[in-house]
Amino acid sequence: MSWLAEPFQYEFMQRALVACLLIGFTNGFLGSFVVIRRLALMADALSHSLLPGLAVAAIFFGLSPGGLLFGGLLAAIFVALGGHLIAQSSRIKDETAIASLYIVAFALGIAIIKYAGVKVSLDHFLFGNILGVGDGDLWTTYAISCLTLLLLVGFQRPLLLAMFEASVARTQGVRVGLLLGLLVVLIVLAMVSSLQAIGVLLALGLLILPAATMYLLSDSYAVMGWGGAILGTLGAMAGLLLSFWANIPSGPAIVLVLGATFLAAYLFSPKYGVLSRRLRKRHLHEESLERWKH
Amino acid sequence: MKPVLKLEDLTVSYNRIPAVHHLSVGFFAGSCVALLGPNGAGKTTLLKAIAGLLPIETGRIFRERGSGRSAIAYVPQRESVDWDFPITVRGLVEMGRYPAVGIWGRFGAADREAVAEAIRICDLTDLADRQISALSGGQQQRAFLARAWAQQAEIYLLDEPFTGLDRNASASFSAALRRLRDSGKLLIASHHDLKNVAELFDHVLLLNGELVAFGTTAETFTTDNLDRAYQTHVFSGHP
């Protein structure tokens, strides 16, 4: 097993491993809500809109995790709320409103970064660097993970109701708008927490891929959530090792590993896999016979 | 006998346009009411207003029994549901217990019993562990009825529950509805197939922006009343 332990004799790898555990688990769990609610593209838009907030925060506070967190959060919430407002007050639909705002925000971010006093390369925000994760980053990620998991588990019942059928949830007294808003805030927090490790552009992979994989494997939201969390953790760790051995950046390595599991589930999932369904297809007569019985 | 649900001078708007005008009517327990009227007559608007989903412009809604949130169960139109949601029939019916259990409460033996009973009454025992998209239309409708039953509501509001159901499916669905009615519940369903009203419902409320007629099916479901409700002009309150 020395081949497995060897990379972790370096302190930066130990830190990277802890970061992987935290962001893999949290993003994997949160991702199930994102996939069920079909918010993947919304999350993508939010990840892009972080950029101007990060840039402004970098100008004022340098690269401190707290400042970046605050700046990114503010920018993303601004885009989410602004998009909602535009959709409510005009004939423009939600996705167009959000897309319009986030792409402008992204452009603004790239423009502002040029003026950041500290030496910040765009690459750092876009792709992250898990080997450069500091203690401050780890504490921030830890706090976000605890908060996210507590809120999601605590409010699981009303959240599920709100996501499944908003009107029924409202008749039962659930504050639907508030809960879905909370979900958006948690998505942004998770994005910011995985920023240092895998960057703005690849953070979406950690959020979506484990949940999408589990969605192909299970019909239970609970299995989807916890399974996604475990898959996200294992995938992030495997990606970290892959990046060490193959000498490629950690962000892409993690997303590639998770992408491979997604592809495998798409093809071979016992119930919903494309190939397994084809192999299992029975004679038409048997199928119609079974339908007849029900 | 006092009505369990009483509407007094009720006016409700949908997208800021009044859709139901000055409606006064009382519903009694243990009955199955059809809400009839042409498209745009305000059927869905009225259901949503009773469910508390739309603000009331004028008038009041009185409820005799159960003032709590769980006393009213709303069953939405089938098209508005995300059928690919990763949940089984049992999970769906368990959602009916959420108002009683609360956000953090424990799901106890009594809750499990209520869920099992609802599944049994709606004839879903064999299908309890199926994902909801793997059900037929009638079974899906029964699954939602089971959720409402598990909520132990007194008043059931159903939006077009028979739409898209074939003869057998609507027969077994209406059998489930009758079991609810016989246990003293009030069921109000918007409906548009005039051919089977007499066999499915005890009472009829004819609506056309305003009240056209309300009463037992035998007395109210007449050609004369239908002509008045389904005349081309829908009463919108505007000249």
pLDDT mean for each 10 residues of chain A (294 residues): 78 90 96 93 88 84 79 88 90 90 88 72 76 85 95 94 90 89 91 84 92 95 95 95 90 94 95 86 64 64
Tally A–B CB contacts below 8 A.
66
* Chain B CB within 8 Å of residue A165 CB: yes
pLDDT recorded at residue B187: 94
CB atoms within 10 A of CB A62: 13
pLDDT recorded at residue B235: 56
Q: What are the strands of the beta sheet with B56-63, ordered from one edge?
A: B17-27, B5-14, B56-63
Structural contact between residues B45 and B53, judged by C-beta atoms closer than 8 angstroms:
no
Tokens, residue B56 = 């009331």
User: CB A158 to CB B103 under 8 A?
Assistant: yes
User: CB B76 to CB A170 under 8 A?
Assistant: no
pLDDT recorded at residue A6: 81
The tokens 């948690």 sit on which residue? A186
* Chain B CB within 8 Å of residue A262 CB: no
DSSP sequence for A37-68: TT-HHHHHHHHHHHHHHHHHHHHHHTT-HHHH
Count of structural domains within chain A: 1
Residue B234 has pLDDT above 70, yes or no: no
Query: Residue B205's beta-bridge partner residues?
Result: B35, B214
Q: What CATH number is attached to the domain comprising A116?
A: 1.10.3470.10
**Quick one: residue B2, left, alpha or beta (phi over 0 = left, psi -120 to 50 = alpha)?**
beta
Percent of chain B with pLDDT over 90: 41
* Chain B CB within 8 Å of residue A154 CB: yes
3-state SS, chain B, equals CCCCEEEEEEEEEECCEEEEEEEEEEECCCEEEEEECCCCCCHHHHHHHHHCCCCEEEEEEEECCCCCHHHEEEECCHHHCCCCCCCEHHHHHHHCCHHHHCCCCCCCHHHHHHHHHHHHHCCCHHHCCCEHHHCCHHHHHHHHHHHHHHCCCCEEEECCCCCCCCHHHHHHHHHHHHHHHHCCCEEEEECCCHHHHHHHCCEEEEECCCEEEEEEHHHHCCHHHHHHHCCCCCCCCCC
The tokens 């979506």 sit on which residue? A208
pLDDT recorded at residue B239: 47
Give pLDDT tens digits for B79-111.
888 899 999 999 999 999 988 888 888 889 999
- Beta-carbon contacts of residue A15 (< 8 Å; ≥ 6 apart): A133, A134, A135, A138
User: CB A164 to CB B103 under 8 A?
Assistant: no
pLDDT recorded at residue A232: 97
Q: A112: number of CA atoms within 13 Å, CB side? A: 18
Give the separation between CA A120 and CA A117, rounded to whole angstroms.
8
Q: How far is A143 from chain B (nearest CA, A)?
A: 22
Tokens, residue A156 = 């699981």
The larger pLDDT score, comparing residue A116 to residue B126, is at B126
Structural contact between residues A167 and B80, judged by C-beta atoms closer than 8 angstroms:
yes
Phi, psi of A182 (to 5 degrees): -60, -40
User: CB B76 to CB A220 under 8 A?
Assistant: no
Structural contact between residues B21 and B40, judged by C-beta atoms closer than 8 angstroms:
no
Q: Which amino acid is at A241?
A: L
- Beta-carbon contacts of residue A84 (< 8 Å; ≥ 6 apart): A94, A97
Buried b (16+ CB within 10 A) or exposed e, A80-109: bebbbebbeeeeeeeeebbbbbbeebbebb
Give the separation between CA A290 and CA B223, rounded to whole angstroms.
44
DSSP sequence for A99-124: HHHHHHHHHHHHHHHTT-SS---HHH
Tokens, residue B124 = 């879903």
Q: What angle do CA B44, B46, B50 make, to 5 degrees?
A: 115
Structural contact between residues A33 and A152, judged by C-beta atoms closer than 8 angstroms:
yes
User: CB A36 to CB B85 under 8 A?
Assistant: yes
Q: Range of A121's domain?
A: 2-293
* Chain B CB within 8 Å of residue A175 CB: no
Q: Which of B76, B86, B91 sits opposite A165 (nearest CB)?
A: B76
B52 neighbourhood in chain A, CB within 8 Å:
170-171
Q: B91: number of CA atoms within 13 Å, CB side? A: 17
> Which of A151, A167, A178, A217 to substitute to test the interface with B, most B CBs within 10 Å?
A167
Domains of chain B: 1-65+154-239 (3.40.50.300), 79-153 (no CATH)
Give the separation between CA A12 and CA B86, rounded to whole angstroms.
39
Give the separation between CA A85 and CA A71, rounded to whole angstroms.
21
In the predicted model, what is the mean pLDDT of chain B?
Answer: 87
Q: How far is A218 from chain B (nearest CA, A)?
A: 7
> Which of A172, A175, A218 to substitute to test the interface with B, most B CBs within 10 Å?
A172
